[in-house]
Amino acid sequence: MSAGRYAPSPSGDLHVGNLRTALLAWLWARHSGRDFLIRIEDLDRVRAGAEQRQLDDLRALGLDWDGSPVRQSERLGLYEAAIARLRDEGRVYECFCTRREILDAPTAPHHPPGAYPGTCRDLTEAQRAERRAERPAALRLRSEIATFTVQDAIHGTYEGAVDDFVLRRGDGVPAYNLAVVVDDAGQGIGQVVRGDDLLASAPRQAYLATLLGATPPTYVHVPLALNGAGQRLAKRDGAVTYAELREAGVDVFALITDSLGLTGASPRELLESFDPAQLPKQPWVFEPPVSSG
């Protein structure tokens, strides 16, 4: 049986929306008889102490996991091996475009704004050598398709655009879309439960998985937690972390389970009546408690 996972980035403390998604990922995995793994996605922003606080908050919520957490920073060789494989197959090219140049460039009709228009796709070797002298190159996938279709347990059949997305950034750091695919395949992840803000990235990742000889996981993109203004919940919205809410006298577990229409005093108790089909399909609007100070 394949595993499920939760994969936070240690850029800061988890807020209640993150914890809600983590609980759902745990429930979906355990309900389907899967192991549940934790992966720390620490290739980008890392704040000192954040990883430990995140793990402590997950434990405080009553979650457990199989094995020790895996860190992406310890898996760089696997990402480079995947890039080498794709390069050997002629699926990689250097890109020298800045973010501004990409945003300002016209895109193909079937691609959303900001999709890569292929500017560097067919540069000559002389042109590439000239550009290398100006700035380091990112590496992009030479995609052979315009769209790819995935199946999602909540959203059903979803067809999304696939452009020539970045595999390795200009600073040498493996890109998220590559790392997550390599990790999911290498860890035997067969079920990905995460926020529905990442639904649009699923076709790119599933397509890349097939190129690397892996079977794409089953996707479950769950509704986000929003603030009172209808925007994605963030730490700037007030008391939103586990510690802040506990300090304000909030039972965080009960708060989350109420938002999901679930009953039980622990994650294990929730499993007894867990029915994925009955979960809310709409975002959860969360209003942080008002400080009395």
Specify if 212 maps to a domain.
no
The amino acid present at 152, given as its one-letter code, is D
Q: What is the pLDDT of residue 104?
A: 77
244 a known binding residue? no
Residue 281 annotated as binding?
no
- Same-domain pairing of 268 and 255: yes
Question: How much of the chain exceeds pLDDT 90, in percent?
Answer: 86
Residue 232, marked binder? no
> Is 220 within 8 Å of 261 (Cβ atoms)?
no
Flag whether pLDDT at 113 surpasses 70.
no
Same domain, 172 and 249: no
| 109 and 161 together in one domain | yes
DSSP per residue, 143-186: -S-SEEEEEETTTEEEEEE----EEE-TTSPBPHHHHHHHHHHH
Residues 94 and 170 in one domain: yes
Closest by CA position to 36, among listed 257, 209, 190, 265? 190
Is 138 within a domain? yes
Confidence category of residue 162, pLDDT binned at 50, 70, 90: very high
In terms of phi and psi (left: phi > 0; alpha: psi -120 to 50; beta: otherwise), the region of 285 is beta
Instruction: Assess whether 8 and 24 both reside in one domain.
Output: yes
Residue 222: other Cβ atoms inside 10 A: 25
Which residue numbers are catalytic? 235
- Phi and psi (nearest 5°) for 226? -115, 160
Q: Tell me whether residue 293 is in a domain.
A: no
Average pLDDT over every residue of 100-108: 74
Burial (CB count <10 Å: 0-12, 13-18, 19+), residue 229: exposed
- Count up the domains in the chain and report the number: 2
Q: Is it the case that residue 27 has pLDDT exceeding 70?
A: yes
Q: What is the pLDDT of residues 263-290, one digit of tens each?
A: 999 999 999 999 999 999 999 999 888 6
Residue 67 domain flag: yes
Asked whether the predicted pLDDT for residue 89 surpasses 90, the reply is yes
Cα–Cα distances (Å) from 63 to 60, 191, 234, 253, in that order, read: 7, 17, 22, 11
| Strands 36-40 and 70-71, sheet pairing | parallel
- The answer on whether 94 is annotated among ligand-binding residues is no
